[in-house]
A and B are shown apart, each in its own frame.
Chain A
């Protein structure tokens, strides 16, 4: 199954890297450099799966997650962080994220996670 995936992260290098891995896996990938741009892209072209960084300037990932809860459509959201802490993990859980992963992650672990989530999406369709 091919999925529409959006990567929201303010680090362009990381966005590019993640996008290239996910594209190589056969998915349609777009990127956004911050929360506001991410929300605009989600409204325009809703993805199946969202990779959302927590620490971003202006609108951080948790705020973005809060706003996404108001959307009628539900998304599968993976929250990513380079500074994993229990408070943000609890908040991400409360706000309905599917997964919380800390950066840096192994490519194999990432691929495994994406495959699992895609299988679940296919099962739910």
Chain B
């Protein structure tokens, strides 16, 4: 039996690396610092809850494999997680703590596909003004959706190849992903959801 705990998450700016700065500026320019702070608090609470629930699971860490959306298969997975955790990502801090307790970290995504996604996001953030950004995002919509499905397909294949009999995987993936659609039937999926604060995160465009 292979088990996968699917943790749908809403990413925070700290997970976004070099794109975090422009995103924050755009957000505070449009909606103000107070709404920004509420947004940050909501993300923090979501991660506290996920962390608490994961802590209650009765699993042997040595049998755990961690999969993380946005984490390329490149041989430097742990360095990347350490870096992003040091930049304040609660998601990556949690991944790091699981690894430190004995879980195995797997490179999850295809580098080429992640680069394509990065170029899409850059193309949108380069535009000036919310109207232009919205138009650009709309014009790229279908291509981005298609790219997301290719990424999901790759992640599912990666899990299928690496998750062994008797092991449990934990996949942290953003709400837009649909990795579960592509997983083989012999992997039993359970979902770990604490709280998804849609209203606080909608204005940030994280959804």
The SS class assigned to the B binding surface is: mixed
Q: Chain B CB within 10 Å — which of A86, A98, A105 has the most?
A: A86
Q: Is there a chain A Cβ closer than 8 Å to B178's Cβ?
A: yes
Roughly how many angstroms separate A15 CA and B198 CA in the complex, as a whole number? 24
- B161-207 contacts to A, CB under 8 A, are 175, 178, 180, 191-199, 207
B31-58 CB contact bits vs A (8 Å, 1 = yes)?
Answer: 0000000000000010001000000000
Measured as residues with beta carbon below 8 angstroms from the partner, the interface class of chain A is 20 to 34
Shortest B132–chain A CB gap in Å is 26
A93 and B207 form a contact (CB under 8 A) = yes
The SS class assigned to the A binding surface is: mixed
Roughly how many angstroms separate A97 CA and B178 CA in the complex, as a whole number? 20
User: Which chain A residues border B193 with CB–CB below 8 Å?
Assistant: 81, 84-85, 89, 100-102
Roughly how many angstroms separate A102 CA and B49 CA in the complex, as a whole number? 11
Q: Is there a chain A Cβ closer than 8 Å to B70's Cβ?
A: no
Chain B residues in the interface with A (C-beta under 8 A): 6, 8, 45, 49, 175, 178, 180, 191-199, 207
Q: Can you list 7 A-B pairs with a CB-CB distance of less than 8 A?
A: A92-B198, A98-B199, A99-B198, A99-B199, A100-B193, A101-B195, A102-B193
